[in-house]
Structure 1
Amino acid sequence: MIFMFIVTCSLNEEYKELTSVGKVWITTSQVDFAVSDLERGLDLTIFHGTISLTMHSQKHLKFEKFLQSMKSFRTLDNGFFKDFWEHAFECVFSSFAVKSPKCTGKERLESLPGPVFEMSMTGHSYGIYNAVYAVAHALHTMYSSQSNDQSVLGGRNTEFHDAQPWQLHQFLQGISFNNSAGETISLDENREMGGGFDILNMVSFPNNSIIRIKVGRVDPKAPEGKEVTLQEDLLVWSKVFNQTLPVSRCRDSCHPSYMKRKKEGEKFCCYECVPCPEGKISIQKDMDDCSSCPEDQYPSQDQDHCIPKMIQFLSYEEPMGICLASVAVSFSLITVLILRIFIKFKNTPIVKASNQDVTYTLLISLLLCFLCAFLFLGRPRKVTCFFRQFAFGITFSVSVSCVLAKTINVVLAFMANKPGSSMRKWMGKRLTNSTVISCSIIQMCICTVWLGTTPPFPDLDTKSMATEVIAECNEGSVVMFYIVLAYMGLLSSISFSVAFFARKLPDSFNEAKFITFSMLMFCSVWLCFVPTYLSTKGKYMVAVEIFSILASGAALLCCIFFPKCYIIVLRPEMNRREQVITKKH
Structure 2
Amino acid sequence: MGCNLIIERTRDYFSQPGDIIIGGTFPVYWNRVYKDLNFTTKPPELHCERVAPHFYETMQALIFAVEEINAQPKLLSNITLGFQVFDTCFNLRKAAHGTLSMLSGGKETTPNYHCNKLSPLASIIGDSGSSVSIIMAQILGLNRYPQISYFATSPIFNNRYLFPSFFRTIPSDEFQMKGLAQLVSHFGWSWVGLLASDNDYGQFGLQLIRQEIINNGGCVAFAENILTGQPNRNAPRIVQLIRESTAKVVVVLDAESSFVIVLEELLRQNVSGIIWVASESWATSAVHSESRFQRVAVGTLGFAIHGAQLPMFSKYLNSLSPSKTLYDPFIKEYWEQSFSCKWLSQENLGNGTIQACTGKENLENTSPESYHRATLNVYNAVYAIAWALQNLILCVPGNGPFDHGSCTNLSSFQPWHAPLSNCSPSCPPGFRKVMVTGKPPCCYECALCPLGRISNQTDAAECHSCSWDTWPNLQRDKCLLRTTEFLSYKEPLGYGLSAISIFSSLIPLVILFVFIYYKTTPVVRANNYSLSCLLLLSLFLCFLCSLGFIGYPQPAQCLLRQVAFGIAFSLCISCVLAKTITVVIAFNATKPSSRLRQWAGVRVSYCVIVLCTFIQLVICGIWLFFFPPFPELDIDTQPGIIIANCNEGSPTAFWCMLGYLGFLATISFIVAFLARRLPDSFNEAKFITFSMLAFLSVWVSFIPAYLSARGMYTVAMEVFAILSSSWTVKLCIFVPKCFIILFRPNMNSREHLMGKEVKNKKKG
TM-score if structure 2 supplies the norm length?
A: 0.48
Q: Is 1:305 aligned to 2:481, yes or no?
A: no
Partner amino acid, structure 1, of 2:495: I
- Show CA shifts across 1:384-439 (max 9, x none): 11110010000000000000000000011110111111111010111000000000
Going from structure 1 to structure 2, the CA distance change for 1:517 and 1:303 (only over 3 Å counts) comes to: same
Choose the corresponding residue for 1:400, options 558, 573, 578. 573
Partner amino acid, structure 2, of 1:337: V
Deviation at 1:339, TM superposition (A): 0.5
Choose the corresponding residue for 1:111, options 235, 240, 243. 243
Which piece of structure 1 moves more, 263-272 or 252-261? 263-272
Counterpart in the other structure of 2:710: 537
Spell out the pairing of 1:254-333 with structure 2 (5 A cutoff): 254-333=427-506
Task: Specify the SS of the correspondent of 2:450.
Answer: coil
Choose the corresponding residue for 2:734, options 561, 570, 573. 561
Spell out the pairing of 1:52-71 with structure 2 (5 A cutoff): 52-53=213-214
- Show CA shifts across 1:500-541 (max 9, x none): 010011133411010000001000000000010000011111
- 8 Å contact 2:213–2:219 — kept in the other structure? no
- Show CA shifts across 1:323-382 (max 9, x none): 211221221111110000111111222222222221111111100100111111111111
- 8 Å contact 1:254–1:273 — kept in the other structure? yes
Whole-Å separation in 2 of the counterparts to 1:57 and 1:313: 58
Whole-Å separation in 2 of the counterparts to 1:21 and 1:55: 12
Task: Specify the SS of the correspondent of 1:314.
Answer: coil
Counterpart in the other structure of 1:576: 749
Spell out the pairing of 1:233-252 with structure 2 (5 A cutoff): 240=305, 250-251=423-424
Q: Percent identity?
A: 43
Task: Specify the SS of the correspondent of 1:274.
Answer: strand
Choose the corresponding residue for 1:350, options 512, 520, 523. 523
Choose the corresponding residue for 1:361, options 515, 521, 534. 534
Partner amino acid, structure 2, of 1:409: T
Counterpart in the other structure of 1:162: none
Task: Mark the structure with the bigger radius of gyration.
Answer: 2
Partner amino acid, structure 1, of 2:247: P
Spell out the pairing of 1:410-559 with structure 2 (5 A cutoff): 410-559=583-732
Going from structure 1 to structure 2, the CA distance change for 1:365 and 1:240 (only over 3 Å counts) comes to: same
Task: Specify the SS of the correspondent of 1:545.
Answer: helix
Counterpart in the other structure of 1:33: 190
Going from structure 1 to structure 2, the CA distance change for 1:414 and 1:337 (only over 3 Å counts) comes to: same
Which piece of structure 1 moves more, 287-296 or 273-282? 273-282
Partner amino acid, structure 2, of 1:520: L
Whole-Å separation in 1 of the counterparts to 2:221 and 2:573: 75
Partner amino acid, structure 1, of 2:489: Y
- 8 Å contact 2:546–2:719 — kept in the other structure? yes
Task: Specify the SS of the correspondent of 1:458.
Answer: strand
Q: Is 1:336 aligned to 2:509, yes or no?
A: yes
Counterpart in the other structure of 1:182: none
Higher RCO (CA 8 Å, separation ≥ 6 residues): 1
Task: Specify the SS of the correspondent of 1:469.
Answer: strand
Deviation at 1:262, TM superposition (A): 3.0
Going from structure 1 to structure 2, the CA distance change for 1:352 and 1:211 (only over 3 Å counts) comes to: farther
Whole-Å separation in 1 of the counterparts to 2:276 and 2:541: 81
- 8 Å contact 2:576–2:688 — kept in the other structure? yes
Structure 1 residue ranges without an equivalent (≥5): 1-19, 37-46, 62-106, 119-200, 213-236
Deviation at 1:263, TM superposition (A): 4.0
Going from structure 1 to structure 2, the CA distance change for 1:259 and 1:565 (only over 3 Å counts) comes to: same
Deviation at 1:108, TM superposition (A): 8.6
Choose the corresponding residue for 2:559, options 382, 386, 396. 386
Going from structure 1 to structure 2, the CA distance change for 1:273 and 1:525 (only over 3 Å counts) comes to: closer
Spell out the pairing of 1:225-236 with structure 2 (5 A cutoff): none
Whole-Å separation in 2 of the counterparts to 1:272 and 1:31: 45
Whole-Å separation in 2 of the counterparts to 1:111 and 1:417: 119
Spell out the pairing of 1:182-201 with structure 2 (5 A cutoff): none
Whole-Å separation in 2 of the counterparts to 1:577 and 1:56: 106
Q: What root-mean-square deviation, in Å, do the aligned CA atoms of Structure 1 and Structure 2 show?
A: 3.8
Whole-Å separation in 1 of the counterparts to 2:718 and 2:241: 79
- 8 Å contact 1:114–1:210 — kept in the other structure? no
Whole-Å separation in 2 of the counterparts to 1:22 and 1:578: 109
- 8 Å contact 1:416–1:424 — kept in the other structure? yes
Going from structure 1 to structure 2, the CA distance change for 1:422 and 1:298 (only over 3 Å counts) comes to: same
